[in-house]
Amino acid sequence: MCWNLKNGVALIFILVISFAFSSCAIGDKPTIYSSDVQNATLVNPDSVSFSKNADETELTISWKVVHGAKGYEFTMYNVDDPDNAVVVGEEKEFVDGTSVSRKLTPDANYKVYLRVIGDEEYHNSDAKESSVFEYSTLVPAVATIPSGTDISTYLNDWMAANPLNSTTADGVHLSDSTEIAFELVKDGNYTMSKPVDFGKYWVTLRGNKVKHAKVKIDGSAMFTTTSGLKIKFIDFDCQSSTADALLGLSANPDEKLLGKGDYYIIPEAKPVVLSSCKVNKLPNRLMYENFKEKYCVGQALINDCVIELSTTNSTQASYIDFNKKGFIDNFAVKNCTFYYDGSEGSKNYFLRYNSSARPDRAGFLKATVDYENNTFYKVCEKGQFGNYNSFARNTISYTVKKNIFVDCGNGQVVRRILAGRNTGDGHITSAFSQNSYDYNGTIGESEDKTGTYLSTAPDFVAPDNVNFTPQGADQLQFQTGDPRWLPITDSASAE
């Protein structure tokens, strides 16, 4: 027992000594960081890296650490209009780290200003001035087309000289999986006299975001594609057009797109887009499938456009026309104005698909029809806003929010968008809210059973002079219709 006690005492003594030493270690003053850069004027990082999040709504800018720095002064500007740069986020933000994030928008040019701030404790001075770095979300351009050019001649010649699976003189390898852009110059003037079929090229055709290019469409000129196509920041004069449409699908589709049900399917990843354009005196269709082939466009978007419809076709033509064989799986119109100038085309359709078109028949699980924040005036006044029979199944989601419909669709806009159903039908998925329906002075539509449609007349300032600013109390309170016509008010965010 004595031996065990002595050993026990010895063990306790060892533990106490160990604890004492470890306590001293824990209690010691921690090592203070000391910069090896002192009494210096610091130099900015020579580069920064840019990375986007998955949905491309946020940009993270990062850089290497500068030793001896207290932090960094950071500013990012949108420079779409170089003479009127707009700050994104906080201007001259002090960043205690080596990265910062900012909101990102499509088709934008940015400049980042970065300056290292010295740590006074080590007598380090700030960099003398900011370093400037540029970033763009624009698709890289393979060519800039000079003002005064017939763009159909230019584009057709360019594609003949630069076939797919070749490399341009600037080192760009062309393939059907690489998106390329053609640029029109700021405030440029152009003509277009012949059809342009982009075929398998995945193309963005764009003007300048601030000062749009202007293109006069003559005769049979139109754009066609069998791939993704975006047309942006261009003002079109179509009064001399005799073509079937402004935008169509190629009579020679890419055979790799042939899918279920003999549909040539342009995938959602390659949308067909008309954005931030003005179209004057459109005498026929805006978008046409081309009756020779059976297409399904995965996604089509018309965004931020003003489109004047002036068709004289009195035989129920359709402005978005897939009536012969096909359909669009996901169709959206957002922040747009459509208005009709004329009398003979009052019986037309707005959106029309083939009577047999259904998402499942082309291999899709669901589809969408989406109208948000648009102004429609005398569009299909005695015609139909939608016509797609079989397409209107319970696999379709309808979103119709904050639109203004004045003298449209024979007073049956809701019924035709929902293909004969109403917003209270439990067999469909629909989200309707804060829409205005005004047909010949009658406010509201019985098929909108949500109880949310607005009760005041939109009362446009001067619709016949293309001024669709609403004066109705509800429209102003809830900020409905195409945002371009809305005055800025304190209730702009009202819901």
Distance from C-alpha of 385 to C-alpha of 411, rounded to nearest angstrom: 10
Q: What is the mean pLDDT of residues 255-274?
A: 95
Residue 239 banded pLDDT, cuts 50, 70, 90:
very high
Sign of CA dihedral 291, 292, 293, 294: positive
* Measured CA distances, 412 to 2, 251, 319 (Å): 104, 35, 17
Distance from C-alpha of 423 to C-alpha of 453, rounded to nearest angstrom: 12
460: left (phi over 0), alpha (psi -120 to 50) or beta: beta
SS (H, E, C) 339-360: EECCCCCCCCEEEEECCCCCHH
- Maximum separation of any 2 CA atoms in the chain, in Å: 118
123 contacts 132 by C-beta, under 8 angstroms:
no
Nearest CA to 63 out of 53, 50, 76 is that of 50
Helix (H) or strand (E) holding 54: none
Which of 6-10, 56-60, 290-294 has the largest mean confidence? 56-60
How confident is the model over 53-87, as pLDDT tens digits? 988 899 999 999 999 999 999 999 999 999 999 99
Residue 252 neighbours by CB under 8 Å, 6+ apart: 197, 199, 226
The model carries a pTM of 0.88
* Lowest pLDDT segment from 133-137, 423-427, 465-469: 423-427
Helix (H, G, I), strand (E, B) or coil at 111: strand
Residue 182 banded pLDDT, cuts 50, 70, 90:
very high
Which of 208-222, 330-344, 353-367 has the largest mean confidence? 208-222
Mean pLDDT (the chain, rounded)? 91
């509201």: which residue's tokens? 444
111 contacts 81 by C-beta, under 8 angstroms:
no
